[in-house]
Structure 1
Amino acid sequence: MSWKASFQQGISDFKRNKHSEALALFDEAVSLGCDSFIVYDSRAAVHEKLGNNKAALLDAKKVVDTAPDRWQGYARSARLFHALNKDESAIKMIDLALERIKPDDVQRRQELNSLKSQATNALIATDERRRARISKTAYHIGKLPVEIFAEIFGFVVAADHAQILKLSHVCKHWHGMAIKTPSLWQTLVVSKHRPTRKVRLWMERARTHISDLSFHHNISEMDLSSILLELSTLSWCGLRSLAASGSLFSRLYDLLHQLSKTEAISRLEHLDVTGCSGFEKFLPDFEDSHLETLKIAHFTPSMGGLWSRVRRLKTMTIEAGWIEVVPALTANQSLENLVLSDLVPIPMQSVGDDRVELSSLQCLKLSNIASVSIITHVVVAPNLQVLHLFNLGHSSDVLEFAHGDSFRVLRELRIASCTTTSSSLNTIIAGAPLLETLQISSMHGVVNEVLDFICGTRPNNQHQDMCTFLKHVDLSNCGDLLTGKAYSLVKARLRTDQPVTIDGSQPGCRAEIESLRLDGCPLVEAEMLPWFRGKVKVFSCVYMTKKDGKQRR
């Protein structure tokens, strides 16, 4: 039988859906030496019907090779590529087929364009799935340059130095990055848990460049010698912050003296010392000090020599001791934060009407001070924003601080456990139009009158609202607080209860109370608590602690 007879018989069997028999006859035709594109195209059609797409694609390629000017091989290849999810190749074959089809063969052109549209849509869907898979599984951050990676770590560690330990345990890559970046290890906090090992490890990873060094108070005396030995190789010229107890500070000073590096003291920007006898021996090394933050506990008169050397402070915290306030403030008139507690101010022999203007002071916190007027009488702080008065015997003396416009930009006022009158507090509140936070805690006989004043109008009958920006109120442990006073404060500031003009606006609208604490206020009626919780975002009214409750039982 010739290849033509085999081919014709195969066509006949194909039309009668005898695909296997047709395939055998086409194979026989090829084996008899036929190299016509018609035979390969017919055999490709049989393979396509049988689902043998790869075999059909091989025959379609033969058609293209033997008859490159005909569209049939390209069209079939396009269909097969699409069936095999190779849509990029399918689109290429479609374009080649369209170039070879006659312009007047509209039906075939429509079929191929429809197939091209399907292949394009399938290609887009595949790309979307690929992108979705990559977004879930790809490690994008690993492609960042080392410098950017280290910069990101730096921002995290700057907010909380302890985060470096978590970052270094995420994965092997992050661990390697953290270890190889010395700037991430420049904050060293030494505690009682393996202190020597930690110092050695941090010194190694920071390459001796520690900028912030602090010691917990619970470090054993047995560990101090080994700790100081490890610190002897520290690059002391780069140290900017130091926090230590007085005895440890003295030993660190001795170490610096042995190393002839006591100039590191004058280069410090932040210093925190708790209790230090014989501080006068360190004073010469504070000459031309760069200190911006100073915190000292148990201040003694012998430390007064600091104020002739320390003149750049922005934050000063003095806890416990005796201090001459005027020289300290006069020497540091750029102060932004001042915290004084448990102090006995030493009065100057002749203060007169001299005042210290602290134009940069934004935060003032006073607590447990015997005579606060010695401080308030001399301070002028026109830009004060935060004022805390805790445990002051005669806090009405703070009115001496209220001269001029001292409270015109005050935003936070906290008063607790103070002996004062409602008229004194009202005077402060009346001079603080921008007040946002108010705390009156652990006080008796003043809170109801103050709330009446806030909910009413100014005494000058100008009918100007008090504290229009007030949002956060804490009235904890005021045993005489009446429910109606707190109710009036919240209700008068609800948007729904404030007057509306004809055009629907609310000019001069007062801010709503966002947080209200009434803990330890026994006169607050329990029936009103659901109303408060519904009107205030953050509300707390705990009548007593668990400990107090057990004692009453």
Structure 2
Amino acid sequence: MSDWKASFSKGIVLFRAEKYEDALANFSEAIAMGATGFSVYDSRAAVLDKLGRTREALLDSKQAIYLAPDQWQGYARSAKLFRKANKLNSALKMVDMALKRVKQNDTKRRQELEALRAEIELAGQKQLQDRRRTFYHFGKLPLELATTIFGLIVESDHASVIRLTQVSREWRAVVLETPFLWSTLSLSSRHPVEKAKTWKQRCGGLLKRLHVRSGDMTTIWGVQELRTTPLSFLRALSLKEVRMDHFFNILPTCTPLVIQNLEYLELDNLVAQKDIYKLCAGEHMRLQTLIAKDTPLDWPALANNCSKIRTLTFRAWFDETNLPDFIWLLHRNKQMETLEICFLERPPMRLPLLCPSIPRDLPARIDMPNLARLSFTGGSGLPSIMLIPYLTLRHVQSLQFSKIRVPLDAYLRRLQGDGAITSLKEFKMNHCMLADPAVLVKLLHDATQMETLELECYSDAGHIAEALAEGTRVPCSESQDPSRPSTVLCPRLTRISFAHSLDLREGPLIRLVKLRNILPINPTVDAVSPVPQASADGISRVISLVIDGCARVEGGTVSWLRGHVPDLSCRFDVKKEVRRRNW
């Protein structure tokens, strides 16, 4: 026992003489000899602190506290070390523990610890100020501006409101106390009840958008949590696979007045019952976006009650007797900007009868000057393209046809005759047919603004590629000058797709790329601009070319194309994918 005490005493003398390495060796020797007093570990922690070995010093101070938990020395030493390591919260905790163990009459020690505590608190305040000044710029923003930024984030992704609460205590406080950030509720089979309770508490009666993504009972229980929540501010409603009789029973606050004030309504695969038609019966509806998939609608009611629709997407069974009501709906919504239609036949199962069609005095043509996006998909029912003769279009920018089983020649000629093609920027024709490919060539001749052309599974794609590569002469029947020179079609074309076109050969493709991509660059265009560059003749360069499944294009040609087209796609399907695509 006396041996370790001698080493310990010698270490104290060396420490006071500032010979820290020698002092450390003596303290370590004393511990190796069996020293168990807390003062030995506290002294070695002091030496290690002087040598800058803070982590090892903290381990010794921890051992000192373990050996003498009622003594203040170990806590005081730990506080100083934590202060040096800039762990201020731990340092404050250690100082408070030391103050509790200092005797009341030990005024000197108490004053020293109080001074240390004040120093740590001051350092904490300075650290917080520096952090806010250098990193936390958000803390300088006014509350109104902060909530506006949060609102923009939540608007693009309503689920981000939870992530915002996890960033910091300041953000969490702001988000939890801002009701409009909780105005969008989306319920699925994942924790719907807990989510509904949270949103109900936080939205403060300002629920504006409700999305029910599943029709199982757990999701319905989540909807039931909202039965006492006022829906007077609801503007968007989205329902998927929901039984409408259950929905209206468990949500009595969804009144006809609430339906009338909706601006967005999306219905996906709802169970066909009479309660579905309650969603169409609001008088003077404010509906601007209507999306219906695999869900029948009450067309007479919609035609009578809706006059503000800007986007209409419909893919479901359609009764031909309601065609006058559909046309009347278009007539009453001339400001429409997007129209996407796919008419399906009535399914074999028994469905409730629709309201009978109302006799109407229909106009011969409907002028729709704002319609920019027009999409027709062929179904098993009434051909959707038969609506084209009823429409007068002026500024269509996107025109799409998919799986239409009748030739499109007459309909494309009708659109060209109305002058609707001159503003066309995007044309897509997938799984469709033309009796005369010259009709499409003429369309491309008029579409001087076109940027995207997609012809998928089209039997005369080679003819179109040839026209794009060499231009076309205007037919004599349409021009007074038969010697008019050839014109490059679609000079602004940058994206082309000939996917799964079996007649496409490499010759037209090579000439097309040479015409549009291998020309001197216009010096007025910035070489580093992300905008597709134009040639000296004003022809835009092709930046994307899709030739998937084009079996007649040889491998050497594909390698050459890759060197001249920035984005080239050339993939071939396996038999399973071919059978799936075959219709």
Question: Do they fold alike, i.e. is TM over 0.5?
Answer: yes
TM norm structure 2: 0.64
Paired residue for 1:326?
327
- Deviation of 1:393 (Å): 0.7
The residue type paired with residue 314 of structure 1 is R
Aligned partners of 1:318 and 1:340 also within 8 Å: yes
Residue pairs, 1:10-49, within 5 angstroms? none
For the residues of structure 2 that align with 1:443 and 1:490, how far apart are their CA atoms?
20
Paired residue for 1:265?
259
Identity of aligned residues (%): 23
Q: Secondary structure at the match of 1:532?
A: helix
For the residues of structure 2 that align with 1:242 and 1:385, how far apart are their CA atoms?
29
Q: Secondary structure at the match of 2:317?
A: strand
Q: Secondary structure at the match of 1:364?
A: strand
Paired residue for 2:188?
191
For the residues of structure 2 that align with 1:332 and 1:548, how far apart are their CA atoms?
41
The answer to whether structure 1 residue 402 and structure 2 residue 416 are counterparts is: yes
How many residues get paired?
412
Paired residue for 2:544?
515
- Gap change, CA 1:211 and 1:548, over 3 Å in 2: closer
Q: Secondary structure at the match of 1:282?
A: helix
Aligned partners of 2:281 and 2:305 also within 8 Å: no
Paired residue for 1:337?
338
For the residues of structure 2 that align with 1:141 and 1:350, how far apart are their CA atoms?
59
The answer to whether structure 1 residue 208 and structure 2 residue 205 are counterparts is: yes
- Deviation of 1:487 (Å): 1.6
The residue type paired with residue 474 of structure 1 is S
Paired residue for 1:424?
439
Q: Deviations over 1:355-393 (max 9, x none)?
A: 111111000111124424421111111110001100001
For the residues of structure 1 that align with 2:566 and 2:160, how far apart are their CA atoms?
32
Aligned partners of 1:280 and 1:305 also within 8 Å: no
More deviation in 531-540 or 186-195?
Answer: 531-540
- Gap change, CA 1:352 and 1:177, over 3 Å in 2: closer
For the residues of structure 2 that align with 1:268 and 1:348, how far apart are their CA atoms?
24
The answer for unaligned runs of 5 or more in structure 2 is 1-129, 347-355, 475-483, 524-533
Residue pairs, 1:492-507, within 5 angstroms? 492-494=515-517, 496=519
Paired residue for 2:155?
158
Aligned partners of 1:279 and 1:303 also within 8 Å: no
The answer to whether structure 1 residue 356 and structure 2 residue 379 are counterparts is: no
Paired residue for 2:31?
none
Residue pairs, 1:209-248, within 5 angstroms? 209-217=206-214, 219-224=215-220, 226-245=221-240, 247-248=242-243
Aligned partners of 1:440 and 1:447 also within 8 Å: yes
Paired residue for 2:492?
469
The residue type paired with residue 291 of structure 2 is K
- Deviation of 1:191 (Å): 0.4
- Gap change, CA 1:238 and 1:487, over 3 Å in 2: same
- Gap change, CA 1:350 and 1:371, over 3 Å in 2: farther
Residue pairs, 1:91-490, within 5 angstroms? 138-217=135-214, 219-224=215-220, 226-245=221-240, 247-255=242-250, 258-259=252-253, 261-274=255-268, 275=270, 276-278=272-274, 282=278, 285-298=281-294, 300=296, 302-322=298-318, 323-324=322-323, 325-343=326-344, 354-369=364-379, 370-394=382-406, 395-399=408-412, 400-420=414-434, 421-444=436-459, 446-460=460-474, 461-490=484-513
Runs of 4+ in structure 1 over 6 Å off:
133-136, 345-353
TM norm structure 1: 0.68
- Deviation of 1:498 (Å): 8.1
Q: Secondary structure at the match of 1:157?
A: helix
Match of 1:529 among 537, 543, 558: 558
The two structures, once aligned, show a CA RMSD in angstroms of 3.3
- Deviation of 1:514 (Å): 0.8
Aligned partners of 1:297 and 1:321 also within 8 Å: no
For the residues of structure 2 that align with 1:212 and 1:545, how far apart are their CA atoms?
43
Q: Secondary structure at the match of 1:542?
A: coil
- Gap change, CA 1:173 and 1:366, over 3 Å in 2: same
Paired residue for 1:33?
none
More deviation in 258-267 or 316-325?
Answer: 258-267
For the residues of structure 2 that align with 1:386 and 1:330, how far apart are their CA atoms?
21
- Gap change, CA 1:311 and 1:173, over 3 Å in 2: same
Q: Secondary structure at the match of 1:295?
A: strand
- Gap change, CA 1:164 and 1:280, over 3 Å in 2: closer
Q: Deviations over 1:442-475 (max 9, x none)?
A: 222x101111122223322243321010001111
- Deviation of 1:302 (Å): 4.5
